[in-house]
Amino acid sequence: MKVTLPDGSVKEVPTGSTFLDLAKSIGPGLAKAAVAAKLDGELVDLQASIPKDGRVVFIRGQDPEGADVIRHSAEHVLATAVVRLFAGAQVTMGPADHSKGFYYDFDVGRPFTPEDLEKIDAEMKKVIAEDVPFVRREVTKPEAGKIFAEMGQRFKPEILAWIPGETVTLYQDANFIDLCKGPHVPSAGKIGAFKLTGAAGAYWRGDATKDPLQRIRGVAFANKKELESYEKQMELAKARDHRKLGRELGLVNFSPLAPASPFFLPKGAKVYNLMVDYVRSLYDKYGYQEVITPQIFSAELFKTSGHYENYAENMYFAEAGHEAAGGEEAGAFGPGEAPTVEYAVKPMNCPGHCALYQMDLHSFRDLPWRVADFGRLHRAEGDATHGLMRVRTFCQDDAHIFCAEDQMAAEMASFVDLVDEVYGDFGLGDVKIRLATRPEKRMGADEQWERAETDLATVLKEKGRAFDLAPGEGAFYGPKLEFHVKDALDRSWQLGTLQVDFNLPERFGLEYVGSDSARHRPIMLHRAILGSLERFFGVYLEHTGGIFPTWLAPEQARVIPVTDRALAHAEKIRAALEERGVRATTDHSSDKLGAKIREAQLAKLPFMLIVGDKEVEKGGVSIRLQDGTDLGYLDLPAALARVAEDTEMPSHKRRRDTQKQGPVV
């Protein structure tokens, strides 16, 4: 059999050779480092026989896919330890995605205690030290059922029933056997380091009416160095948790009276509104018109869009009598006789924008028509809410572009420029782009999909932007671009999206009159840059640790008088700053200077302007920065210019600088 290696070389291997045999023949270092392999792109066990000719790539523990394999294997070691320690333990399932960690749900008749976790941790270490092998075998469903019956595992028959086909794969390490597709590391010793991160209650299949279970979570890595790095990152993440910082900095809070609905306090509202104002400041440049649309619509709108049928569980509904609906014939009904009308609180803006488009007959000369909307949205998110990251009420920097098919490429290019400008101003430099293409089940002609996908790819290539293809991951109604941003904690967040939509224009019967005087269907582009402003607020708060760029800080400068003798001069400086558009305050407290400076630093203020007897006498001020840098004494005009230079919104500053330069001749 012949296999092609990543360097293009071809190696002949004997029939029946395993991938581990191949790795050993290449070198002992590779055999030691590899945890799995890929054959023509499909992830496989190292101990599996090579079934055919193909391209082979070995996966190391430090690779993202290798890390997933290690975590998946650690999950099985966790179950092995629980089965050893708790007689009659029932093992259910773990997650399909191991990119963030692992877990297993168990039924041991009671919650796990901290002491239990310590014993489980120690038993896992024993299994790893024993370097027990992971053995894969394929059996028929009846054979698997018999095995699990002998083990007394009562959840497995139900899981077996979900799996299509007549055969299933099992994995065994030590005395534990489970249904699993794999792959796994060859033996437990390949798990370099792990940590159990906690235990909590769960329910079988996530249903509160079914068996209560206990979930143990953990993380695993190829070596201890990676675990130590993870632990440091978690400590930093804990310190930067947006819920903690939001309270400490007086930005945002929550109340059980409005679950999963944030209260933005004055400082937080200032930051939030500055974000809106900043995005809005770019709309003229990029040709957007802002609209304001209703919060509540007749449910008929969402029946037309398809959301009533497919998204109703995430929506809020209300009913009102016909009089409340304002119908012309409302007066024809007596008290309590009027029929009710069903209404829905909008969970997204796109159906309303389609209704807006329908209000007028559009010509090809009107296109592209770009409409932006900061309307408040509401979604019934259930229990899967988390601080600002997932809320029930939010706003998006949302816009929709209605365009002709031959205008798509130019609109896509303009959007990429807009995203680059915005992320640059927020200091978000590590951006990765994914192009999600047509799924098997889709609407729209193949020619439309081909053009949209080609336009998206061509635009990115022409701009020199690298991107990853995500075949088959587009929505059923069109391909999309996703913009993923890394934060200061090395976490990736999807923020921006550009979604091509062939569906809604069809469902709403949208049309425009072309240059040929015939009616044509427009293409709809959904686009967001920051996405949910609530979520972005949380992401950015953690990214910056609360130290916002000066233009976004709710309080940009604080004037700190050393004594009451300096108070009048301090107030004069504050007033002069405010005249220049700087958000400034004066510290009127009786605290000593050191305490005042510490308080300003804890508040993450960009500028501290110190006023003592020397500053009063000379008419200037001394400046300290948030990071502790001391700029020393400056005369007042220089100090005001220095502060004002950093406090202006970037888009406003660029516009002003362009106006100073004058028109290009």
The set of catalytic residues is 350, 379, 396, 398, 400, 480, 526
- What is the rounded end-to-end Cα distance, in angstroms, of the chain? 69
CA 101/CA 95 separation, integer angstroms: 9
CA 546/CA 248 separation, integer angstroms: 10
Maximal CA-CA distance, the chain: 93
The token duo for 557 is: 């400068």
Find residue 483's DSSP bridge partners: 433, 496
With DSSP H G I counted as helix, E B as strand and the rest as coil, what are the percentages for the chain, rounded to 5?
40, 25, 30
Write the single-letter amino acid at 602. Answer: L
Strand boundaries in 417-457, DSSP class E: 431-436
Within 10 angstroms of residue 142's Cβ, the number of other Cβ atoms is 10
Strand-strand pairing, 362-363 and 512-513 = parallel
User: CA 283, 276, 650 angle in degrees (round to 5)?
Assistant: 70
Output the CA–CA distances (angstroms, integers) from residue 373 to 290, 350, 398, 442, 656, in the order listed: 6, 10, 6, 28, 26
* Residue-wise DSSP of 213-253: EEEEEEEEESSHHHHHHHHHHHHHHHHT-HHHHHHHTTSEE
Write the single-letter amino acid at 311. Answer: Y
Find residue 498's DSSP bridge partners: 481, 527
> Which residues are within 8 A (CB) of 449 and not within 5 positions of it... i.e. 6 or more apart?
437, 438, 442, 478, 479
The token duo for 135 is: 């053995």
- Kindly state the DSSP code that residue 522 receives in the 8-state scheme: P
**Look-up of token digits 């190696």:** 11
Within 10 angstroms of residue 230's Cβ, the number of other Cβ atoms is 17
CA 38/CA 16 separation, integer angstroms: 17
Contact 403, 368 (CB under 8 A): yes
Determine which helix (DSSP H) or strand (DSSP E) holds 581, and give its type and residue range: none
Strand-strand pairing, 54-60 and 2-4 = parallel
**Look-up of token digits 């071809």:** 10
Write the single-letter amino acid at 80. Answer: T
The token duo for 277 is: 């104002």
CA 467/CA 208 separation, integer angstroms: 42
* Residue-wise DSSP of 295-330: SEEEHHHHHHHTHHHHSGGGSEEEEEEHHHHT-TTG
